[in-house]
Chain A
Amino acid sequence: MIGRLLLVVLVVLVAPLLGALLNGADRILTARMQGRIGPPVLQPFYDLLKLFRKEPLVLNRIQIGYVYLHLAFMLMTIVLITLGQDMLLALFTHAFSTLSLVIGGMSVRSPYSRIGSQRKIMQMLAYEPVLILLVVGIYLRTGSFMAGAVAHLDAPLITSLPLVFLAFLIALEIKLEKSPFDVATSHHAHQELVKGITLEYAGPYLGVIELTHFYETFFLLALVAAFFVTHVWLGVLVALAVYGAAILVDNVCARMRTTWMVRYMWTVPMALAVCNIIWLYLQPHAGR
């Protein structure tokens, strides 16, 4: 009991640090791909500290509450997964974290923020089915909806869920707000809708959004690594490689239209995931 509590505290404290370092590595890698040098790897820490020192400008008091809920639900997601609880619940909590940001963005009278929020909802519409199919696939393999059951597998998930993994990687690109799917807000220099959904947040509130983004990066890459849970180091390496590939795709692709994103996600990755799931259903044992 105490051990699990300590684990949760450890993860909650360490996850943003790792997420920030990954973010820093992202910026350096992007810079090198563009022939630049890039900032120091600790830059996201400096950014975060600076943001908490700035004046907290807002448009109304409602958006403050939603930015706190954004962080709170992300923390909840991470704690749920750390404790090995129901994956569907973690998924819905994660979805509500994004939804909080959307509602906060819609609560302000700013056209950029509103359009960014609409696009964020469309992003959710695009990747939500793939993520639920991911959880369903894991259930068909382990026989349980609890995340803890993944740790007790003898063969890694990737051997029975390769297509779902591929679909998840494509959904990852949307969640990390990277081209060709960075339509709701943008990373650092690539402006879209000025700053879209995060436009009317300043100072500490923007800092909270950045912090949540660090947690989210960590969470998503941990999910990637979970596909190789039997060989932890391989999982970590694959997660880092996936992150590098996501950065590469980001720098190579242009930003596409939102409607294309939804159409694409509901055809190609969904078809991949559904094929994988059908294959699992046809298997004789399937943990059921």
Chain B
Amino acid sequence: MQAITGACLMLTPANYVLALIGVPLVGGALAYVLPWRGARTVVVCLTALATALLGVLAVVAGPFSVTCGAWSDPAAFALELLLIGVIVAFAWEARAWLIVLLTLLQLGLCLTEQFSAGAHAPTAPTFVLDALSSILVIIVCVIGALILVYATGYMREHAAHAPRTTAGDRRFFLVLVGFLGVMNGLVLANNLRWLAVFWESTTLCSFLLIGHEGTAEARANALRALLINAFGGVALSLAALLAAHRGGITSLDGIMSAQALAPMALLCIAAMTKSAQFPFQSWLLGAMVAPTPVSALLHSATMVKAGSYLILRLAPAFAGTRLLDVVALAGGFTFAVAAALAVSQSNAKRVLAYSTISNLGLIVACAGIATPLAYAAAIMILCYHAASKGLLFLCVGAIEQKIGSRDIEDMGSLLYIMPLTTIITLTGMLTMLMPPFGMLMSKLLAIEAAIEAPFVLLLVIVGSALTVFFWAKWIGRMQTVSYHPHYPRETMPFSMSSVLVMLCALVAGGGVASILVYRTLIEPLALHTFAHASAHTIAALRAAGNLLSWPVFVFPLLAALVWLWTIARFNPAHVRLPYLAGENYEEKELSYAFLSIKDQPAVAWTTSLYFKHTLSEARITPWANLIAGLLVLSLLGVLGLL
């Protein structure tokens, strides 16, 4: 223990920050430079390992803050100009004039801030690692590392089937690995300028990775992501400008302590674009054309969390304001509508995308409610969702490589075709739904917290009923299998299978221990953040921590054991065909075929309910965008209070 603490303290906080940002960037550059795939794989895996270790060590080393010298402001400004230039270059090349316009607007705002506000001595720390950012650093470093290792195996298989126009693995790994460093920077940043730099960098990474395939569809979706995130970037720059004008505020801490409403509103809007809340959700759905590791890393586990993380960070300072009421309502609305839209999707990645949007909406709603219990619920959802959704995306990627389809209706018999992956996928999905796993517990806490905000409560109730619907359909479909006495051994690249198993263990273990995690880690954090909350809300927080009688979970455990025992003494003579009024047509794979008219075999094929007419995207999205747009406009109404 002493040795570990010693090792942690050998690095100063500034070193940690530099390492967390720099190591992945260096690793990515190395991966780009080396021309051999094997060497690249080694470099990526080593970088992943190093990042994970660094993340854990940094968190163990405890909360710290780093205040950079006078060089940090000009450096950030220069980097921001560079980024804007790169984005404008890409947009110009693609003839996307709206993006060019928005980015030039952003440039204008940036320049105005730099040359009008004057040079202020930065009084707030530039980079901060506190409890909330530690959580995100762990998520980024550990889960990100696992996804990187998976990506090495996945991209090797992928290259065999890739379209001709793909940009090549070298650039892919440069951006994917470098993204970890950029994301770390975003999470650690307290200074608004540096936040903007890393924010724009993640936008750029997302753009490059979505467009990786090079097909027309990929390019179009990448541009759409760039457009919506450029809009968010404008909001971010405007927020920084207003904050600087208002009182020389240059950091998030400053906004919080001054309770500056206008910058907060604009930051919330920027966060909503990054987290694909309604009406900004279309880019995340389009981003699903990217290869699976991209969807897992950027678009479920880390990058989209950045927006909700930002709101979560800032919200406690604005508790009780109308602004947060509107934010909570917007989040709740997203939660409900995204869940409804997920019901109508049969494309697995789109279901996962809508589910991600939905859960991010729930985090935003809880952040907006801003009571200790809501804050705790939001953090729990953040952690458990990142892990579970990342795992699910990786599994869907493996499944897609094997069966060549993303449609849920094609996923029957998977238990026989690829047993290991299917069991891991089912574990991931059950952890989203089943008590005592973290996601269900956090949903429970969210409902309990939403008592304070009745409209949000109604939306959360509607959303959680719909959530059960689409998960149940998918879980049921994946379990469909006939009787087989023996199951084949699955062949998958070791990098992919090892990561799946490790992540599954993490998800399952963390899920089972959810109440322990809540009691020991999250509850103290919430209490610390809301030191001045009312006694009533603190009582609610403490009461929720008692909510589990652990011994009661012995029942499902016993059921599982009895099941295993039943399988062990299973007599194959007890297997029968399904009931089809006596007309079963006994062919090898089709036990649901029957003899129809003229004794011709027909297949009794039933699909799940999708409500493609009532809940179709074409029908609901315009209305949802309208209502969400009105909510965003009302957020902007706060600007009148300047």
Contacts and interface: CB of A to CB of B under 8 A. Distances in A.
A110 B558 contact: no
B578 A200 contact: yes
Contacts of A40: none
- Interface on chain B toward A: helix, strand, loop, or mixed SS? helix
Contacts of A93: 435
A96 B547 contact: no
Contacts of B101: none
A88 B540 CA distance: 14
B555 A79 contact: yes
A111 B566 contact: no
A252 interface: no
Interface string B265-296: 00000000000000000000000000000000
B421 to A, nearest CB: 16
A96 B433 contact: yes
A113 B578 contact: yes
B454 A277 contact: yes
Given A79-B552, A96-B435, A117-B476, A200 B579 contact: yes
Interface stretch (A15-23, A27-35, A121-129, A224-232): A121-129
Interface stretch (A67-75, A154-162, A170-178): A67-75
Nearest to B594: A111
A274 B562 CA distance: 42
Contacts of B469: 121-122, 124-125
Contact of B480 (A64, A106, A288): A106
A73 B472 contact: no
A180 to B, nearest CB: 19
Given A61-B567, A129-B461, A105 B476 contact: yes
Interface string A115-135: 101100110110011001100
Given A111-B604, A122-B609, A96 B461 contact: no
A236 interface: no
Interface string A42-82: 00000000000001111111101100110111011001100
Interface string B555-582: 1101110110011001000111111100
B630 to A, nearest CB: 22
A69 B575 contact: no
A79 B549 CA distance: 10
Interface stretch (B78-86, B88-96, B206-214, B440-448): B440-448
A251 interface: no
B592 A132 contact: no
B476 A68 contact: no
Contacts of B451: 136, 139-140
Interface string B411-427: 01001000000000000
Given A76-B552, A139-B451, A194 B465 contact: no
A59 B476 CA distance: 15
- Interface on chain A toward B: helix, strand, loop, or mixed SS? helix
A110 B477 CA distance: 12
B464 interface: yes
A118 B607 CA distance: 9
Given A56-B574, A57-B574, A128-B468, A89 B548 contact: yes
Contact of B444 (A57, A92, A118): A92
B483 interface: yes
A259 to B, nearest CB: 9
Given A111-B604, A124-B468, A103 B576 contact: no
Interface in A207-236: none
Nearest to A121: B472
A281 interface: yes
B536 interface: yes
Interface string B170-193: 000000000000000000000000
Given A65-B559, A68-B559, 17 more contacts: A55-B574, A57-B576, A59-B591, A61-B566, A76-B556, A79-B552, A88-B444, A88-B448, A89-B548, A102-B472, A106-B473, A109-B480, A117-B476, A118-B609, A124-B472, A128-B465, A199-B579
Interface of A: 55-62, 64-65, 68-69, 71-73, 75-76, 79-80, 83, 85-86, 88-89, 92-93, 95-96, 99, 102-103, 105-115, 117-118, 121-122, 124-125, 128-129, 132-133, 136, 139-140, 144-146, 194, 199-200, 274, 277-278, 281, 288
19 contacts: A57-B575, A60-B575, A64-B563, A68-B559, A71-B559, A72-B555, A76-B555, A89-B444, A95-B468, A103-B472, A109-B412, A109-B578, A110-B579, A111-B604, A111-B606, A118-B608, A122-B469, A132-B447, A139-B451
